A and B are shown apart, each in its own frame.
Chain A
Protein backbone atom coordinates (compact mmCIF):
# COMPACT_ATOMS: atom_id res chain seq x y z
CA UNK A 1 0.00 0.00 0.00
CA UNK A 2 1.29 3.49 -0.78
CA UNK A 3 1.80 5.93 2.10
CA UNK A 4 -1.20 8.03 1.01
CA UNK A 5 -3.50 5.01 0.87
CA UNK A 6 -2.30 3.87 4.29
CA UNK A 7 -2.99 7.27 5.85
CA UNK A 8 -6.40 7.44 4.21
CA UNK A 9 -7.33 3.96 5.43
CA UNK A 10 -6.39 4.97 8.96
CA UNK A 11 -8.30 8.26 8.76
CA UNK A 12 -11.46 6.43 7.73
CA UNK A 13 -11.52 4.60 11.08
CA UNK A 14 -12.07 7.83 13.03
CA UNK A 15 -15.55 9.30 13.09
CA UNK A 16 -14.27 12.66 14.42
CA UNK A 17 -11.84 13.01 11.52
CA UNK A 18 -14.37 12.02 8.85
CA UNK A 19 -17.19 14.25 10.15
CA UNK A 20 -15.11 17.38 10.74
CA UNK A 21 -13.17 16.85 7.53
CA UNK A 22 -16.42 16.33 5.62
CA UNK A 23 -17.93 19.57 6.96
CA UNK A 24 -14.77 21.46 6.02
CA UNK A 25 -14.86 20.04 2.48
CA UNK A 26 -18.52 21.03 2.18
CA UNK A 27 -17.75 24.60 3.33
CA UNK A 28 -14.82 24.82 0.92
CA UNK A 29 -16.93 23.57 -2.01
CA UNK A 30 -19.68 26.07 -1.18
CA UNK A 31 -17.13 28.87 -0.97
CA UNK A 32 -15.78 28.04 -4.42
CA UNK A 33 -19.12 27.34 -6.11
CA UNK A 34 -21.22 29.97 -4.28
CA UNK A 35 -19.93 33.18 -5.92
CA UNK A 36 -20.08 31.38 -9.25
CA UNK A 37 -23.74 30.34 -8.93
CA UNK A 38 -25.01 33.51 -7.25
CA UNK A 39 -26.27 36.24 -9.62
CA UNK A 40 -24.69 38.92 -7.37
CA UNK A 41 -21.19 40.40 -7.58
CA UNK A 42 -19.14 40.92 -4.42
CA UNK A 43 -18.15 44.45 -5.48
CA UNK A 44 -21.46 45.81 -6.73
CA UNK A 45 -22.88 48.38 -4.32
CA UNK A 46 -26.61 49.05 -4.44
CA UNK A 47 -27.74 52.01 -2.38
CA UNK A 48 -31.44 51.18 -2.77
CA UNK A 49 -30.85 47.92 -0.94
CA UNK A 50 -28.81 48.81 2.16
CA UNK A 51 -28.74 46.64 5.31
CA UNK A 52 -31.43 44.27 4.12
CA UNK A 53 -32.05 41.30 6.43
CA UNK A 54 -31.50 37.84 4.92
CA UNK A 55 -34.27 37.39 2.32
CA UNK A 56 -33.91 34.38 0.01
CA UNK A 57 -36.83 35.59 -2.13
CA UNK A 58 -34.99 38.81 -3.05
CA UNK A 59 -31.87 36.86 -3.94
CA UNK A 60 -29.88 37.85 -0.82
CA UNK A 61 -29.63 34.68 1.26
CA UNK A 62 -27.35 36.34 3.84
CA UNK A 63 -28.78 39.87 3.41
CA UNK A 64 -26.82 42.94 2.34
CA UNK A 65 -24.27 45.20 4.05
CA UNK A 66 -24.21 48.95 4.68
CA UNK A 67 -23.24 49.57 1.03
CA UNK A 68 -25.94 47.27 -0.32
CA UNK A 69 -23.46 44.59 -1.34
CA UNK A 70 -24.64 40.98 -1.30
CA UNK A 71 -23.34 39.34 1.88
CA UNK A 72 -23.55 35.76 0.65
CA UNK A 73 -20.99 36.38 -2.07
CA UNK A 74 -18.82 38.49 0.24
CA UNK A 75 -18.90 35.87 2.97
CA UNK A 76 -17.93 33.16 0.49
CA UNK A 77 -15.03 35.35 -0.72
CA UNK A 78 -14.02 35.67 2.93
CA UNK A 79 -14.10 31.90 3.39
CA UNK A 80 -11.89 31.52 0.29
CA UNK A 81 -9.32 33.91 1.78
CA UNK A 82 -9.48 31.98 5.06
CA UNK A 83 -8.76 28.67 3.34
CA UNK A 84 -5.97 30.12 1.19
CA UNK A 85 -4.33 31.54 4.33
CA UNK A 86 -4.68 28.17 6.01
CA UNK A 87 -2.94 26.38 3.15
CA UNK A 88 -0.17 28.89 2.38
CA UNK A 89 0.75 29.56 6.01
CA UNK A 90 0.84 25.85 6.82
CA UNK A 91 3.05 25.10 3.83
CA UNK A 92 5.45 27.89 4.88
CA UNK A 93 5.63 26.63 8.46
CA UNK A 94 5.85 23.01 7.27
CA UNK A 95 8.82 23.63 4.97
CA UNK A 96 10.79 25.77 7.42
CA UNK A 97 9.92 23.63 10.45
CA UNK A 98 10.66 20.23 8.93
CA UNK A 99 13.94 21.28 7.30
CA UNK A 100 15.13 23.04 10.43
CA UNK A 101 14.00 20.34 12.85
CA UNK A 102 15.28 17.41 10.78
CA UNK A 103 18.67 19.08 10.29
CA UNK A 104 19.06 19.84 13.98
CA UNK A 105 17.92 16.36 14.99
CA UNK A 106 20.02 14.44 12.50
CA UNK A 107 23.24 16.43 12.75
CA UNK A 108 22.98 16.62 16.53
CA UNK A 109 25.76 17.75 18.83
CA UNK A 110 26.77 21.40 18.99
CA UNK A 111 24.87 22.39 15.82
CA UNK A 112 21.69 21.01 17.37
CA UNK A 113 22.32 22.86 20.64
CA UNK A 114 22.81 26.21 18.89
CA UNK A 115 19.84 25.73 16.55
CA UNK A 116 17.49 24.81 19.38
CA UNK A 117 18.76 27.65 21.57
CA UNK A 118 17.67 30.01 18.77
CA UNK A 119 14.23 28.37 18.68
CA UNK A 120 13.92 28.82 22.45
CA UNK A 121 14.81 32.49 22.13
CA UNK A 122 12.32 33.06 19.31
CA UNK A 123 9.73 31.15 21.32
CA UNK A 124 9.87 33.72 24.07
CA UNK A 125 9.39 36.66 21.69
CA UNK A 126 5.84 37.85 21.12
CA UNK A 127 5.79 37.36 17.34
CA UNK A 128 2.31 38.69 16.76
CA UNK A 129 3.50 42.16 17.72
CA UNK A 130 6.31 41.85 15.22
CA UNK A 131 3.88 40.92 12.49
CA UNK A 132 1.89 44.04 13.35
CA UNK A 133 5.09 46.09 13.27
CA UNK A 134 5.96 44.54 9.90
CA UNK A 135 2.55 45.45 8.52
CA UNK A 136 2.85 49.01 9.86
CA UNK A 137 6.27 49.57 8.33
CA UNK A 138 5.79 47.93 4.94
CA UNK A 139 3.12 48.08 2.29
CA UNK A 140 0.37 45.63 3.19
CA UNK A 141 0.02 42.83 0.71
CA UNK A 142 -1.29 39.28 0.70
CA UNK A 143 2.09 37.63 0.38
CA UNK A 144 3.63 39.48 3.33
CA UNK A 145 0.70 38.53 5.57
CA UNK A 146 0.87 34.87 4.59
CA UNK A 147 4.61 34.56 4.99
CA UNK A 148 4.54 36.40 8.30
CA UNK A 149 1.88 34.06 9.68
CA UNK A 150 3.75 31.00 8.43
CA UNK A 151 6.93 32.32 9.98
CA UNK A 152 5.25 32.46 13.40
CA UNK A 153 4.09 28.89 13.34
CA UNK A 154 7.21 26.96 12.30
CA UNK A 155 8.70 26.84 15.80
CA UNK A 156 6.41 24.10 17.12
CA UNK A 157 6.97 22.04 14.00
CA UNK A 158 10.76 22.38 14.27
CA UNK A 159 10.74 21.21 17.90
CA UNK A 160 8.54 18.23 17.25
CA UNK A 161 10.34 17.09 14.10
CA UNK A 162 13.70 17.48 15.83
CA UNK A 163 12.60 15.37 18.79
CA UNK A 164 11.23 12.66 16.54
CA UNK A 165 14.35 12.62 14.32
CA UNK A 166 16.58 12.41 17.38
CA UNK A 167 14.84 9.29 18.62
CA UNK A 168 14.56 7.71 15.16
CA UNK A 169 18.29 8.14 14.57
CA UNK A 170 19.07 5.78 17.42
CA UNK A 171 16.53 3.12 16.47
CA UNK A 172 17.65 -0.36 15.44
CA UNK A 173 16.39 -0.24 11.86
CA UNK A 174 18.35 2.96 11.18
CA UNK A 175 21.47 1.47 12.72
CA UNK A 176 20.96 -1.70 10.70
CA UNK A 177 20.68 0.37 7.51
CA UNK A 178 23.86 2.19 8.43
CA UNK A 179 25.61 -1.10 9.14
CA UNK A 180 24.89 -2.51 5.70
CA UNK A 181 26.28 0.69 4.20
CA UNK A 182 23.24 2.76 3.21
CA UNK A 183 24.26 6.39 2.58
CA UNK A 184 23.09 9.20 4.91
CA UNK A 185 20.78 10.99 2.39
CA UNK A 186 19.19 7.65 1.57
CA UNK A 187 18.66 6.88 5.26
CA UNK A 188 16.92 10.24 5.69
CA UNK A 189 14.70 9.73 2.63
CA UNK A 190 13.93 6.02 3.05
CA UNK A 191 13.93 5.49 6.80
CA UNK A 192 13.57 8.77 8.69
CA UNK A 193 11.18 10.76 6.47
CA UNK A 194 8.41 8.13 6.17
CA UNK A 195 8.32 7.87 9.95
CA UNK A 196 7.93 11.65 10.27
CA UNK A 197 4.91 11.87 7.96
CA UNK A 198 2.35 10.97 10.63
CA UNK A 199 3.48 13.48 13.22
CA UNK A 200 3.96 16.21 10.61
CA UNK A 201 0.40 15.72 9.35
CA UNK A 202 -0.91 15.98 12.90
CA UNK A 203 0.92 19.22 13.64
CA UNK A 204 0.05 20.79 10.29
CA UNK A 205 -3.62 20.20 11.08
CA UNK A 206 -3.13 21.77 14.49
CA UNK A 207 -1.30 24.76 12.94
CA UNK A 208 -4.06 25.60 10.48
CA UNK A 209 -6.57 27.02 13.01
CA UNK A 210 -3.76 29.10 14.54
CA UNK A 211 -2.96 30.61 11.14
CA UNK A 212 -6.63 31.34 10.44
CA UNK A 213 -6.96 32.96 13.85
CA UNK A 214 -3.98 35.24 13.27
CA UNK A 215 -5.16 36.30 9.81
CA UNK A 216 -8.66 37.13 10.99
CA UNK A 217 -7.22 38.93 14.01
CA UNK A 218 -5.08 41.13 11.75
CA UNK A 219 -7.95 41.73 9.34
CA UNK A 220 -10.22 42.60 12.24
CA UNK A 221 -7.76 45.29 13.33
CA UNK A 222 -7.66 46.65 9.79
CA UNK A 223 -4.08 45.52 9.24
CA UNK A 224 -4.79 42.44 7.14
CA UNK A 225 -6.76 42.06 3.93
CA UNK A 226 -7.73 45.48 2.52
CA UNK A 227 -10.97 46.68 0.87
CA UNK A 228 -12.50 45.78 -1.53
CA UNK A 229 -11.03 42.34 -0.75
CA UNK A 230 -12.49 40.78 2.33
CA UNK A 231 -11.96 38.00 4.83
CA UNK A 232 -14.01 36.55 7.66
CA UNK A 233 -12.16 38.66 10.24
CA UNK A 234 -12.89 41.81 8.28
CA UNK A 235 -16.55 40.85 7.86
CA UNK A 236 -16.84 40.32 11.62
CA UNK A 237 -15.34 43.77 12.13
CA UNK A 238 -17.86 45.32 9.69
CA UNK A 239 -20.62 43.41 11.49
CA UNK A 240 -19.51 44.68 14.91
CA UNK A 241 -20.02 48.26 13.73
CA UNK A 242 -23.56 47.50 12.51
CA UNK A 243 -24.67 44.99 15.12
CA UNK A 244 -27.39 47.09 16.76
CA UNK A 245 -29.47 47.38 13.59
CA UNK A 246 -28.18 44.52 11.48
CA UNK A 247 -27.13 41.65 13.74
CA UNK A 248 -26.90 39.21 10.80
CA UNK A 249 -23.80 41.06 9.59
CA UNK A 250 -22.05 39.89 12.76
CA UNK A 251 -23.78 36.57 13.37
CA UNK A 252 -23.28 34.95 9.94
CA UNK A 253 -19.53 35.47 9.40
CA UNK A 254 -18.87 35.03 13.14
CA UNK A 255 -20.63 31.67 13.26
CA UNK A 256 -18.97 30.52 10.07
CA UNK A 257 -15.51 31.46 11.33
CA UNK A 258 -16.15 29.69 14.65
CA UNK A 259 -17.49 26.62 12.81
CA UNK A 260 -14.42 26.42 10.57
CA UNK A 261 -12.07 26.75 13.54
CA UNK A 262 -14.05 24.19 15.54
CA UNK A 263 -13.86 21.68 12.67
CA UNK A 264 -10.12 22.19 12.24
CA UNK A 265 -9.58 21.76 15.99
CA UNK A 266 -11.62 18.55 16.03
CA UNK A 267 -9.79 17.34 12.92
CA UNK A 268 -6.43 18.06 14.57
CA UNK A 269 -7.45 16.28 17.78
CA UNK A 270 -8.71 13.28 15.82
CA UNK A 271 -5.54 13.12 13.73
CA UNK A 272 -3.42 13.27 16.86
CA UNK A 273 -5.29 10.32 18.33
CA UNK A 274 -4.66 8.40 15.11
CA UNK A 275 -1.07 9.26 14.25
CA UNK A 276 0.77 10.54 17.32
CA UNK A 277 2.19 7.40 18.89
CA UNK A 278 3.07 9.20 22.13
CA UNK A 279 -0.59 10.00 22.78
CA UNK A 280 -2.04 6.58 22.05
CA UNK A 281 -0.93 4.40 24.89
Chain B
Protein backbone atom coordinates (compact mmCIF):
# COMPACT_ATOMS: atom_id res chain seq x y z
CA UNK B 1 0.00 0.00 0.00
CA UNK B 2 2.88 2.37 0.80
CA UNK B 3 4.49 1.82 -2.59
CA UNK B 4 1.13 2.36 -4.28
CA UNK B 5 0.59 5.60 -2.36
CA UNK B 6 4.05 6.89 -3.24
CA UNK B 7 3.61 6.03 -6.91
CA UNK B 8 0.30 7.85 -7.03
CA UNK B 9 1.74 10.89 -5.25
CA UNK B 10 4.65 11.05 -7.70
CA UNK B 11 2.24 10.65 -10.61
CA UNK B 12 0.27 13.72 -9.55
CA UNK B 13 3.29 16.05 -9.63
CA UNK B 14 3.84 16.13 -13.45
CA UNK B 15 0.12 16.76 -13.96
CA UNK B 16 0.15 19.72 -11.61
CA UNK B 17 3.34 21.06 -13.17
CA UNK B 18 1.85 20.75 -16.66
CA UNK B 19 -1.20 22.72 -15.51
CA UNK B 20 0.94 25.52 -14.07
CA UNK B 21 3.18 25.71 -17.16
CA UNK B 22 0.22 25.76 -19.58
CA UNK B 23 -1.70 28.35 -17.57
CA UNK B 24 1.38 30.55 -17.14
CA UNK B 25 2.23 30.45 -20.84
CA UNK B 26 -1.37 31.20 -21.84
CA UNK B 27 -1.55 34.27 -19.66
CA UNK B 28 1.89 35.31 -20.85
CA UNK B 29 0.69 35.16 -24.45
CA UNK B 30 -2.02 37.72 -23.65
CA UNK B 31 -1.60 40.94 -25.59
CA UNK B 32 -0.75 44.09 -23.60
CA UNK B 33 0.71 44.46 -20.14
CA UNK B 34 -0.37 45.84 -16.77
CA UNK B 35 1.61 49.06 -17.23
CA UNK B 36 0.37 49.83 -20.75
CA UNK B 37 -1.33 53.21 -20.59
CA UNK B 38 -2.77 55.58 -23.12
CA UNK B 39 0.04 57.96 -22.36
CA UNK B 40 3.29 56.21 -23.20
CA UNK B 41 5.91 56.32 -20.43
CA UNK B 42 9.52 57.31 -21.16
CA UNK B 43 11.56 54.27 -22.11
CA UNK B 44 13.85 54.56 -19.02
CA UNK B 45 10.90 54.53 -16.62
CA UNK B 46 9.34 51.57 -18.40
CA UNK B 47 12.65 49.74 -18.09
CA UNK B 48 12.78 50.57 -14.35
CA UNK B 49 9.25 49.28 -13.75
CA UNK B 50 10.06 46.14 -15.74
CA UNK B 51 13.17 45.61 -13.62
CA UNK B 52 11.25 45.96 -10.33
CA UNK B 53 8.71 43.34 -11.44
CA UNK B 54 11.38 41.17 -13.12
CA UNK B 55 9.65 41.56 -16.49
CA UNK B 56 13.05 42.06 -18.15
CA UNK B 57 14.16 38.55 -17.25
CA UNK B 58 13.90 35.67 -19.73
CA UNK B 59 10.62 33.73 -19.62
CA UNK B 60 11.98 30.60 -17.90
CA UNK B 61 13.36 32.75 -15.05
CA UNK B 62 10.03 34.52 -14.67
CA UNK B 63 8.29 31.15 -14.60
CA UNK B 64 10.59 29.77 -11.90
CA UNK B 65 10.02 32.93 -9.85
CA UNK B 66 6.25 32.50 -10.20
CA UNK B 67 6.46 28.78 -9.41
CA UNK B 68 8.51 29.56 -6.29
CA UNK B 69 5.79 31.99 -5.19
CA UNK B 70 3.02 29.45 -5.90
CA UNK B 71 4.78 26.81 -3.80
CA UNK B 72 4.76 29.28 -0.90
CA UNK B 73 1.09 30.06 -1.56
CA UNK B 74 1.83 33.46 -3.10
CA UNK B 75 0.03 34.09 -6.41
CA UNK B 76 0.92 37.78 -6.62
CA UNK B 77 -1.35 40.83 -6.40
CA UNK B 78 -4.76 41.09 -8.06
CA UNK B 79 -5.12 43.41 -11.07
CA UNK B 80 -8.67 44.49 -10.37
CA UNK B 81 -9.17 44.32 -6.58
CA UNK B 82 -7.21 47.13 -4.99
CA UNK B 83 -4.95 46.21 -2.05
CA UNK B 84 -5.70 42.48 -2.24
CA UNK B 85 -3.40 39.64 -3.13
CA UNK B 86 -4.76 36.72 -5.12
CA UNK B 87 -4.15 34.39 -2.15
CA UNK B 88 -6.22 36.60 0.15
CA UNK B 89 -9.11 36.65 -2.31
CA UNK B 90 -9.01 32.87 -2.75
CA UNK B 91 -8.72 32.31 0.99
CA UNK B 92 -11.71 34.52 1.64
CA UNK B 93 -14.06 33.01 -0.93
CA UNK B 94 -13.11 29.32 -0.91
CA UNK B 95 -14.75 28.34 2.44
CA UNK B 96 -18.19 29.33 1.12
CA UNK B 97 -17.74 27.21 -2.02
CA UNK B 98 -16.37 24.33 0.02
CA UNK B 99 -19.46 24.33 2.23
CA UNK B 100 -21.72 24.17 -0.83
CA UNK B 101 -19.60 21.52 -2.51
CA UNK B 102 -19.40 19.19 0.48
CA UNK B 103 -23.15 19.39 1.14
CA UNK B 104 -23.95 18.76 -2.53
CA UNK B 105 -21.61 15.76 -2.70
CA UNK B 106 -23.07 14.26 0.50
CA UNK B 107 -26.61 14.70 -0.78
CA UNK B 108 -25.69 13.25 -4.19
CA UNK B 109 -24.02 10.18 -2.69
CA UNK B 110 -26.70 9.34 -0.12
CA UNK B 111 -29.74 9.90 -2.33
CA UNK B 112 -28.09 8.65 -5.52
CA UNK B 113 -26.90 5.37 -4.00
CA UNK B 114 -30.26 4.74 -2.28
CA UNK B 115 -32.20 5.36 -5.50
CA UNK B 116 -29.77 3.18 -7.44
CA UNK B 117 -30.12 0.25 -5.00
CA UNK B 118 -33.90 0.58 -5.09
CA UNK B 119 -33.97 0.57 -8.89
CA UNK B 120 -31.53 -2.35 -9.13
CA UNK B 121 -33.51 -4.55 -6.70
CA UNK B 122 -36.77 -3.86 -8.53
CA UNK B 123 -35.20 -3.77 -11.99
CA UNK B 124 -37.61 -3.53 -14.92
CA UNK B 125 -40.49 -2.64 -12.58
CA UNK B 126 -42.49 0.59 -12.78
CA UNK B 127 -40.42 2.00 -9.89
CA UNK B 128 -37.21 1.28 -11.79
CA UNK B 129 -38.50 3.04 -14.87
CA UNK B 130 -39.58 6.10 -12.86
CA UNK B 131 -36.18 6.36 -11.13
CA UNK B 132 -34.27 5.90 -14.38
CA UNK B 133 -36.49 8.38 -16.20
CA UNK B 134 -35.78 10.89 -13.46
CA UNK B 135 -32.07 10.13 -13.71
CA UNK B 136 -31.98 10.62 -17.47
CA UNK B 137 -33.78 13.96 -17.09
CA UNK B 138 -31.42 14.97 -14.28
CA UNK B 139 -28.40 14.26 -16.46
CA UNK B 140 -29.86 16.22 -19.37
CA UNK B 141 -30.91 19.44 -17.65
CA UNK B 142 -27.88 21.72 -17.20
CA UNK B 143 -27.24 23.22 -13.75
CA UNK B 144 -27.79 26.73 -15.10
CA UNK B 145 -31.30 25.74 -16.19
CA UNK B 146 -32.20 23.83 -13.00
CA UNK B 147 -31.05 26.61 -10.68
CA UNK B 148 -33.20 29.42 -12.13
CA UNK B 149 -36.16 27.04 -12.43
CA UNK B 150 -35.89 26.14 -8.74
CA UNK B 151 -35.69 29.85 -7.89
CA UNK B 152 -38.70 30.56 -10.10
CA UNK B 153 -40.89 27.96 -8.38
CA UNK B 154 -39.73 27.91 -4.76
CA UNK B 155 -38.74 31.55 -4.33
CA UNK B 156 -40.62 33.70 -6.85
CA UNK B 157 -43.93 31.79 -7.09
CA UNK B 158 -44.26 30.02 -3.73
CA UNK B 159 -42.12 32.32 -1.52
CA UNK B 160 -40.94 29.30 0.49
CA UNK B 161 -37.21 29.91 0.22
CA UNK B 162 -34.97 32.94 -0.30
CA UNK B 163 -34.01 33.60 -3.93
CA UNK B 164 -30.54 34.91 -3.17
CA UNK B 165 -27.72 34.54 -0.68
CA UNK B 166 -28.12 38.05 0.73
CA UNK B 167 -31.90 37.66 1.13
CA UNK B 168 -31.51 35.64 4.32
CA UNK B 169 -28.87 34.73 6.88
CA UNK B 170 -30.12 31.32 8.06
CA UNK B 171 -29.46 27.88 6.63
CA UNK B 172 -32.46 28.02 4.30
CA UNK B 173 -30.38 30.04 1.84
CA UNK B 174 -28.19 26.97 1.34
CA UNK B 175 -31.02 24.71 0.23
CA UNK B 176 -31.63 25.84 -3.37
CA UNK B 177 -27.96 26.22 -4.37
CA UNK B 178 -27.05 22.83 -2.88
CA UNK B 179 -30.05 21.18 -4.52
CA UNK B 180 -29.17 22.68 -7.94
CA UNK B 181 -25.63 21.38 -7.64
CA UNK B 182 -26.65 17.95 -6.34
CA UNK B 183 -29.49 17.04 -8.74
CA UNK B 184 -27.38 16.10 -11.80
CA UNK B 185 -24.94 14.20 -9.57
CA UNK B 186 -27.80 12.32 -7.87
CA UNK B 187 -28.85 11.24 -11.35
CA UNK B 188 -25.37 10.06 -12.37
CA UNK B 189 -24.75 8.22 -9.09
CA UNK B 190 -28.16 6.51 -9.26
CA UNK B 191 -27.50 5.26 -12.81
CA UNK B 192 -24.02 4.02 -11.94
CA UNK B 193 -25.16 2.29 -8.74
CA UNK B 194 -28.05 0.56 -10.51
CA UNK B 195 -25.96 -0.70 -13.43
CA UNK B 196 -23.12 -1.89 -11.25
CA UNK B 197 -25.33 -3.54 -8.60
CA UNK B 198 -27.31 -5.42 -11.26
CA UNK B 199 -24.04 -6.73 -12.70
CA UNK B 200 -22.71 -7.80 -9.28
CA UNK B 201 -26.02 -9.44 -8.34
CA UNK B 202 -25.77 -11.70 -11.41
CA UNK B 203 -22.30 -13.01 -10.49
CA UNK B 204 -21.54 -16.48 -9.19
CA UNK B 205 -20.66 -15.65 -5.60
CA UNK B 206 -24.07 -14.02 -5.13
CA UNK B 207 -25.75 -17.16 -6.45
CA UNK B 208 -23.75 -19.15 -3.90
CA UNK B 209 -24.87 -16.81 -1.13
CA UNK B 210 -28.46 -17.21 -2.25
CA UNK B 211 -28.05 -21.00 -2.29
CA UNK B 212 -26.89 -20.80 1.32
CA UNK B 213 -30.25 -19.27 2.13
CA UNK B 214 -29.37 -15.61 2.67
CA UNK B 215 -32.13 -13.04 2.18
CA UNK B 216 -31.87 -10.25 -0.37
CA UNK B 217 -31.25 -7.57 2.28
CA UNK B 218 -28.34 -9.49 3.78
CA UNK B 219 -26.86 -10.27 0.38
CA UNK B 220 -26.88 -6.61 -0.64
CA UNK B 221 -25.63 -5.45 2.74
CA UNK B 222 -22.78 -7.96 3.23
CA UNK B 223 -21.82 -9.18 -0.24
CA UNK B 224 -22.98 -7.08 -3.16
CA UNK B 225 -22.74 -3.47 -2.01
CA UNK B 226 -18.99 -3.19 -1.56
CA UNK B 227 -17.96 -4.44 -5.02
CA UNK B 228 -20.88 -2.55 -6.56
CA UNK B 229 -19.61 0.71 -5.06
CA UNK B 230 -16.27 0.64 -6.92
CA UNK B 231 -17.51 2.32 -10.14
CA UNK B 232 -19.36 4.86 -8.01
CA UNK B 233 -16.19 5.60 -6.07
CA UNK B 234 -14.20 6.11 -9.25
CA UNK B 235 -16.90 8.51 -10.43
CA UNK B 236 -16.31 10.68 -7.34
CA UNK B 237 -13.32 12.43 -8.95
CA UNK B 238 -15.25 13.60 -12.03
CA UNK B 239 -18.23 14.36 -9.77
CA UNK B 240 -16.19 16.77 -7.66
CA UNK B 241 -14.91 18.43 -10.83
CA UNK B 242 -18.50 18.75 -12.09
CA UNK B 243 -19.68 20.22 -8.78
CA UNK B 244 -16.83 22.75 -8.84
CA UNK B 245 -17.68 23.76 -12.41
CA UNK B 246 -21.36 23.86 -11.53
CA UNK B 247 -20.68 26.07 -8.52
CA UNK B 248 -19.26 28.68 -10.90
CA UNK B 249 -22.75 29.07 -12.37
CA UNK B 250 -24.73 28.50 -9.19
CA UNK B 251 -22.78 31.14 -7.26
CA UNK B 252 -23.36 33.58 -10.11
CA UNK B 253 -27.12 32.89 -10.12
CA UNK B 254 -27.65 33.09 -6.37
CA UNK B 255 -25.10 35.84 -5.78
CA UNK B 256 -22.97 33.72 -3.45
CA UNK B 257 -19.56 35.28 -2.68
CA UNK B 258 -17.60 32.08 -3.36
CA UNK B 259 -14.66 31.06 -5.50
CA UNK B 260 -16.85 30.49 -8.58
CA UNK B 261 -18.20 34.02 -8.52
CA UNK B 262 -14.71 35.38 -7.97
CA UNK B 263 -13.54 33.41 -11.01
CA UNK B 264 -16.33 34.69 -13.27
CA UNK B 265 -15.77 38.30 -12.19
CA UNK B 266 -12.03 37.92 -12.70
CA UNK B 267 -12.58 36.43 -16.17
CA UNK B 268 -14.90 39.20 -17.29
CA UNK B 269 -12.54 41.88 -15.84
CA UNK B 270 -9.50 40.25 -17.50
CA UNK B 271 -7.80 40.14 -14.09
CA UNK B 272 -4.95 37.93 -15.33
CA UNK B 273 -3.16 37.17 -12.06
CA UNK B 274 -6.43 36.32 -10.34
CA UNK B 275 -7.68 34.06 -13.17
CA UNK B 276 -4.29 32.35 -13.30
CA UNK B 277 -4.27 31.85 -9.53
CA UNK B 278 -7.81 30.48 -9.40
CA UNK B 279 -7.21 28.10 -12.34
CA UNK B 280 -4.12 26.70 -10.64
CA UNK B 281 -5.98 26.45 -7.34
CA UNK B 282 -8.92 24.61 -8.94
CA UNK B 283 -6.56 22.28 -10.81
CA UNK B 284 -4.58 21.49 -7.67
CA UNK B 285 -7.80 20.82 -5.79
CA UNK B 286 -9.17 18.47 -8.46
CA UNK B 287 -5.85 16.63 -8.77
CA UNK B 288 -5.69 16.26 -4.98
CA UNK B 289 -9.24 14.93 -4.75
CA UNK B 290 -8.59 12.50 -7.64
CA UNK B 291 -5.54 11.32 -5.74
CA UNK B 292 -7.61 10.71 -2.60
CA UNK B 293 -10.19 8.77 -4.64
CA UNK B 294 -7.39 6.69 -6.20
CA UNK B 295 -5.95 5.89 -2.77
CA UNK B 296 -9.37 4.95 -1.40
CA UNK B 297 -9.89 2.74 -4.43
CA UNK B 298 -6.58 1.04 -3.76
CA UNK B 299 -7.50 0.58 -0.11
CA UNK B 300 -10.82 -1.07 -0.97
CA UNK B 301 -9.77 -3.12 -4.00
CA UNK B 302 -6.47 -4.98 -3.50
CA UNK B 303 -6.36 -5.97 -7.20
CA UNK B 304 -5.59 -2.32 -8.11
CA UNK B 305 -2.52 -2.05 -5.86
CA UNK B 306 -0.67 -4.90 -7.55
CA UNK B 307 -0.80 -3.35 -11.01
Contacts and interface: CB of A to CB of B under 8 A. Distances in A.
A258 B140 contact: yes
Contact of B264 (A133, A137, A221, A239): A221
A254 B290 CA distance: 32
Contacts of B100: none
Contacts of B249: 217, 220-221
Interface stretch (A7-15, A35-43, A123-131, A188-196): A123-131
Main secondary structure, interface of A, reads helix
B233 interface: no
B22 A126 contact: no
B18 A125 contact: yes
Contact of A250 (B14, B19, B148): B148
B255 to A, nearest CB: 12
A135 to B, nearest CB: 8
Contact of B148 (A217, A222, A233, A239): A239
B144 A237 contact: yes
Q: How large is the interface on B (under 10, 10 to 19, 20 to 34, 35 or more residues)?
A: 35 or more
A80 to B, nearest CB: 19
Interface string B121-164: 00000000000000011011110110011011000100000000
17 contacts: A124-B290, A125-B283, A126-B282, A129-B279, A129-B282, A132-B267, A132-B275, A133-B279, A136-B272, A217-B144, A221-B264, A222-B268, A223-B268, A236-B148, A237-B144, A239-B148, A243-B156
Interface of B: 12, 14-15, 18-19, 22-23, 26-27, 29-30, 136-137, 139-142, 144-145, 148-149, 151-152, 156, 241, 244-245, 248-249, 252-253, 263-264, 267-268, 270, 272, 275-276, 278-279, 282-283, 286-287, 290
Interface of A: 121, 124-126, 128-130, 132-138, 209, 213, 216-217, 220-223, 233, 236-237, 239-240, 243-244, 247, 250-251, 254, 257-258, 261-262, 265-266, 269
